[in-house]
Structure 1
């Protein structure tokens, strides 16, 4: 009952009436006096918006507001971010659709100002030029897609079990639940970007009675929970369409100072369609980006019929004190469930190594690529269930660790391996990999070993969890294009040599790798005509059972 009351309270806090002053999280104050409609900036940086009663009535009758209604010039030179933010703030207050002005080019300079989107938005064919060469706050998003519903602390949950079906709570409606145990460390990274790990966490959806959506299950045992948060989920779908965005790249030093000059999606049930993002002005150095589309702390997100751009690869010094290639992303998914990319592509060559892989994800579940042409799929800190179908992936291929089922079908993969189980996080997949009706086409340069599944595991590093080889791997109707290999090429292998030191029983793992695995092969062919073998290190995989049909 108390959560229902809280829900009603939060709802009414988000609604204002004509003439009432509003100062929500986006730091705007909206008034309606007889003065003309105008947008100004207060000394503290807040937007002060006055909308005349006549204009209020007009906009409400139309059901639509445009950026030019609040002073946007659209000449590609005048900074229009205040007008853009003001338009959305007023639209949010009255539940109006926002439309960009056709033929306009909105320049967005370096001012720290974020436009909050809470209503349907049609960017149309308008252009947006985002200048990152001189900014006030690299962490400030350009747009945040947000909900009127507010998170609240969830009491009474002291522990959880993997695959638990219900939690003992009563909620106002479906909620996205995030739990953490700060006393346990997971994802203790190994290698040139080594770190001390992250606190144990999980994210899942429950209905008003606490029933867990088992399509995105709880994946960890929690002996203790130090924090639990519930975020009510909007029942309607918010739609964002169109837009031709161009980022003028930053000129900062090549360090891990990620830029978030982006569209951040923080609301569940969102469809983004028909957007384009391009990048200009990249030189011989620059700071990385954390995703022009950055999806986080939400569920049921669809991004379709859109075009993105890979960022240039730069080098920096990693935490181990040695040079590393620095990741920079146009798409990023963090702590999100049921996120699909449908019929999407990128502007630059997916096989050009000058550009970093386009997508990264962490702590997410049920990620889908369908009919996409991208340079990479990547799950850093785990994914539970992922599907890649009808797609083509370029030089960085498929990189993942996690659990559940990884499905790859009707696709062409051009990475160095068909699936790379990331060694910096333990080359672990606790579950199943299914590969059907695919072509594996490693790069044209001659490789000493062509492997379907790559990874590395010494057994001497504590990642904070037990690491697993996939318990079941099914490969059906796979063609391996391995024609361009050296004369001493022995043929492809299922597994790369994960540990060159483990050649007999004398090698001892401090943190044993669970290698109980079954492999089912049907109609696997090679361009070279050579047979598919288990590994160049057969001892390490001696307990793996291979079944052929």
Structure 2
């Protein structure tokens, strides 16, 4: 079979062959890949798969194979073929602004991929984009929505993801070193063909006005991506908030990623942050399993408030996505090594799951509705959350300073319930700290764009706190940290009142120190919380 022609000097020899391509929208920069001969095409169709080497990939770890990789996927998409990497190959991917579009099952197998980010044409060009066969379209006839609404008056071609925005309303008005003026009110939910809303992922805001609303049909067939040994040679850019998106973007519903590995090399004393090697967005029903990822080195910059901040940098991001699960996953570096940032960040998402994962962090950034962590181990950055619905942590071990941190930069808010069951808490990985289970900070003087809540009902059952290494004068672990040291009596006025927890139900909470679990250092702030010791 002919190899892919990269040299312009030889381009004229393949004009007639290239003319056989009717439509290759996945190829960029107006370049067309070499078309296989009719004989080769027939062989691929009979086999049901195509390999990168069929389009000229060298796999020697030195030659840039991105053109061949992109062309292979374009051909596979056109003919409905599986893509299979060549066993034993090492594909080098340079900094060219080029993406391979994946719309068919892909088996990376045991092949290796080197992604060199030291010199890129565009830091926002993903290497792979898992793309839907459908396109979002404007949804007509919906002018308003209500929180927990069960149905909208539309008829759809099938189940769809609905994304809605009201740019007149600002939420998540961030406080602190990375302060900002907020983001447009946004929600995402699933509707069936008759307009019935999936109430497992309900609407969380009232929309009195809608400035944009789209429907994206959900792909019904499952797309599988298996294997692959990926290594990123880290960028050497200036340490500032210029995020790199150079991995696998999943923008299609009903996707399974199984057995992938991602490592990072070449990190020095500076670099720009990453937005996630696996980047899940605008989709639903995505499962990442049996996968090994890597925490990125933490760098500092000057935040929007003019002070030094540590930049968040991720190997996983989940944005505007529903029903996303991570099962039997881990990371290559020590989950308690504070030189490396936590592995995940998420925004505008619902129904996130960790099951049997060993990661340095779980994070719900700009709001998550419903999250579950089970059979897992969380490291130095622990569990960080703001959002709504039910948050469940069960049969898991947490090594961070607090068991759960309600993020203060977004109002330490969780509008719903919290369940902690059959867990172990090792405060600060065994360092001397005065332990508290639930941390956060709320002055009541900043407008976050919404009322802020503590979990309404908290259930803590079968929890062991390993506080054996504790400071002198340790009074025992607290349920709540001191969220507002200035609030010591009724004279303190909250301009934006905090809605406190109604009840904490305790059952079989034990401590290594032998000291009893208490409410808080700030007994006044939590004086009205009912403690039910069962």
Using the size of structure 2 for normalisation, the TM-score is 0.95
Give 1:507's aligned residue: 492
Does the 8 A contact of 2:27 with 2:74 survive in 1? no
Query: Does 2:178 align with 1:178?
Result: no
**Aligned match for 2:285, one of 292, 300, 307:** 300
1:304-347 CA-to-partner distances (Å, cap 9, x unmatched) read 00100000011111110000111110011000000000000000
1:275-324 CA-to-partner distances (Å, cap 9, x unmatched) read 00000010011000000000000000000001000000111111100001
Give 2:385's aligned residue: 400
1:130-187 CA-to-partner distances (Å, cap 9, x unmatched) read 0000110000000000011111000111111111111111111110000000000000
Give 2:238's aligned residue: 253
Q: Which runs of 5+ in 1 are unaligned?
A: 1-17, 29-43
- 1:71-470 matches, within 5 Å, as 71-444=56-429, 446-470=431-455
Give 2:459's aligned residue: 474
Aligned partners of 1:20, 1:224: CA distance in 2, in Å?
49
1:56 partner SS: helix
1:395-421 CA-to-partner distances (Å, cap 9, x unmatched) read 000000000000000000011100000
Q: Which runs of 5+ in 2 are unaligned?
A: 1-17
2:77 partner SS: helix
Give 2:11's aligned residue: none
Aligned partners of 2:393, 2:211: CA distance in 1, in Å?
37
Aligned partners of 1:517, 1:58: CA distance in 2, in Å?
67
Does the 8 A contact of 2:20 with 2:35 survive in 1? no
1:455-496 CA-to-partner distances (Å, cap 9, x unmatched) read 000000000000001000000000001111111111110000
Aligned partners of 2:166, 2:300: CA distance in 1, in Å?
34
Aligned partners of 1:444, 1:174: CA distance in 2, in Å?
45
Aligned partners of 1:430, 1:444: CA distance in 2, in Å?
29
Aligned partners of 1:108, 1:47: CA distance in 2, in Å?
18
2:386 partner SS: strand
| Alignment CA distance shift 1:409-1:75 (3 Å) | same
Aligned partners of 2:159, 2:341: CA distance in 1, in Å?
37
Aligned partners of 1:79, 1:293: CA distance in 2, in Å?
22
Aligned partners of 2:57, 2:413: CA distance in 1, in Å?
51
Aligned partners of 1:63, 1:295: CA distance in 2, in Å?
28
1:21-40 CA-to-partner distances (Å, cap 9, x unmatched) read 44454236xxxxxxxxxxxx
| Alignment CA distance shift 1:169-1:49 (3 Å) | farther
Aligned partners of 1:430, 1:284: CA distance in 2, in Å?
40
Does the 8 A contact of 2:21 with 2:35 survive in 1? no
Q: Please state how far the C-alpha of 1:454 moved relative to its aligned partner.
A: 0.1
1:443 partner SS: helix
1:49 partner SS: coil
Aligned partners of 2:21, 2:41: CA distance in 1, in Å?
14
Aligned partners of 2:470, 2:431: CA distance in 1, in Å?
5
Does the 8 A contact of 1:47 with 1:82 survive in 2? no
Give 1:63's aligned residue: 48
Measured on the aligned residues, the alpha-carbon RMSD in Å equals 1.2
Aligned partners of 2:389, 2:100: CA distance in 1, in Å?
37
1:405-456 CA-to-partner distances (Å, cap 9, x unmatched) read 0000000001110000000000000000000000000124654521100000
Does the 8 A contact of 1:446 with 1:486 survive in 2? no
Does the 8 A contact of 1:237 with 1:269 survive in 2? yes
Q: Please state how far the C-alpha of 1:47 moved relative to its aligned partner.
A: 3.1
1:489-544 CA-to-partner distances (Å, cap 9, x unmatched) read 11110000000000000011111111142100000010001111110001111111
